[in-house]
A and B are shown apart, each in its own frame.
Chain A
Amino acid sequence: MVTQKEKRIGEVIATATATFTTQCYQLYELPPLGSLVKTRNEKLELFAVVANATTTGLEPGRKAIARGKDEESEEAIYKSNPQLEKLLKSEFETLVIGHRIDGKINHFLPPVPARIHSFVYVCPVEEVKEFSQSPGFINILLNTNPTLPQNELIITCLHQMSFAHEDSHQFLVTAGKHLARLLGDYNQLKSILERIEH
């Protein structure tokens, strides 16, 4: 199912069952941390949450150096060094938190991982809303081992998803209650809930 609102932002360049890494087509055009993206493997749609992002040199071992000492603005650095845009790459890691098969969304890992060079899209608002209608995806998010601290990722993910819902407060309350049922650690739960409210 391709809708007009899907925005293609890059391609899968590393993949595993529970994670994949995407290289952006445009430097710095990264989706927000915690936002929902998707890719396809034939009839399967894989949903994943942005868990970390990096911008580094295209070639391993080539590091960026400071260039702006005599420049008036950061933009001027890129203007004076047009090669930079071609030598740097922006990538983001994602955690797979569900999939759609035969039209049905499942909040568990897909039967097969994403393929290398699969296109990656930012999920449109309607799809984020549909995916997060029930909070089952939180279970999988709690079982992952992200690069960033897990609490931070849960908070940003719920925060991002809340924008897709008309009643974002209600979405967060439902998610919070679900978290309370899953988490045995009171302090962890308190740390998350306190910050989701804001």
Chain B
Amino acid sequence: MPEMFANVDAVPYRWPFNGQWNADDTALLLLGFQNTLVEALDAEAEVAVAARLAEAARKKNIPVVASRRGQVAGVPAVLQRQMLPGLITPERETEGWQLSAQFAPPGEISVVDHAGDNAFYETGLELSLRERGIRNLLICGLPTEGLVHATQRNANDMGFECLAIADACKGTSPDRHASQLRITTFGNGLFGAVATSDSVFRSLSRT
């Protein structure tokens, strides 16, 4: 039997809804922690938190999947709209497109490449999670109102039980970050729950 973890102190409810999460049914998603984004959003602190989460997940045998958004030839032009003034999606294989060096290199962690905000759209992410029996997702990334929220919205429609980890996400402004997470929790968790990394670390150590 896999090690069962304690419920996470989260808003608007103690996550997950059914009290069941373990290394066999849970994955950690690291969304868009790429050099260009980390620099543009000045998100070194959030990357450090996410790297600690990834290390804690690895020790508990929780699968970790990192996503990289990159320009693909032939995708609709509308996908190249800017995230911040002057910032568009990095081209694949460039330095700015690479994952932050704070994480284990691709090969040691799973990686999913996508063209838009949503790491599930036209990728194998859902299939690979379902094949492993994953039902619960710990989610962090950049920006909060971009890759994080788009991916969490889709995951939620698919029935995954999602937890956004607030201090491992950063928005294009503090207001937009906070508002997007508030909307996530509206109506007893329309799109899932939100917690701090401390709450997650506490649950992982309280098994």
* A-B interaction: no
